[in-house]
């Protein structure tokens, strides 16, 4: 899954940014719910916690993507050429 995300163009920085945004949105949702809804602080807390739970997942994906990026850097461009050739071979062989 991480390789697929990497090939789709996602970088570790994108996930770290999403994690930080999740924290900011969590606080904003909590504050807005607390001030604008008559449901009380319990509902505001639930909104804040719900959105805040996304942050660790984004940070974990960021770490995994960073490892993937570092792995790619250590292997060098030869490994990417080998991987592309292997993919072409599998495609032509009908695998």
DSSP letter for each residue of 30-68: HHHHHHH-TT-HHHHHHHHHHHHTHHHHHHHHHHHHHHH
Nearby residues of 27 by Cβ (< 8 Å), 6 or more positions away: 48
pLDDT of residue 77: 57
Residues 18/28, Cβ–Cβ less than 8 Å: no
Taking the complete model, does pTM exceed 0.85, yes or no? no
pLDDT of residue 12: 92
- Predicted confidence band of residue 87 (pLDDT cuts 50, 70, 90): low
CA-to-CA distance for 20 and 57, rounded, in angstroms? 11
pLDDT of residue 60: 95
- Predicted confidence band of residue 91 (pLDDT cuts 50, 70, 90): low
pLDDT of residue 46: 78
Enumerate the domain spans of the chain. 2-93
Residues 87/24, Cβ–Cβ less than 8 Å: no
């Amino acid at each position: 899954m991480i390789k697929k995300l990497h090939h789709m163009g996602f970088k570790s920085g994108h996930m770290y940014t999403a994690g930080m945004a999740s924290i900011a949105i969590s606080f904003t949702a909590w504050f807005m719910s607390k001030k604008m809804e008559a449901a009380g602080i319990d509902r505001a807390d639930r909104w804040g916690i719900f959105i805040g739970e996304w942050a660790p997942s984004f940070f974990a994906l960021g770490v995994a993507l960073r490892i993937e990026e570092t792995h790619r850097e250590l292997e060098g461009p030869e490994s990417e050429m080998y991987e592309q050739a292997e993919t072409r071979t599998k495609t032509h062989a009908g695998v």
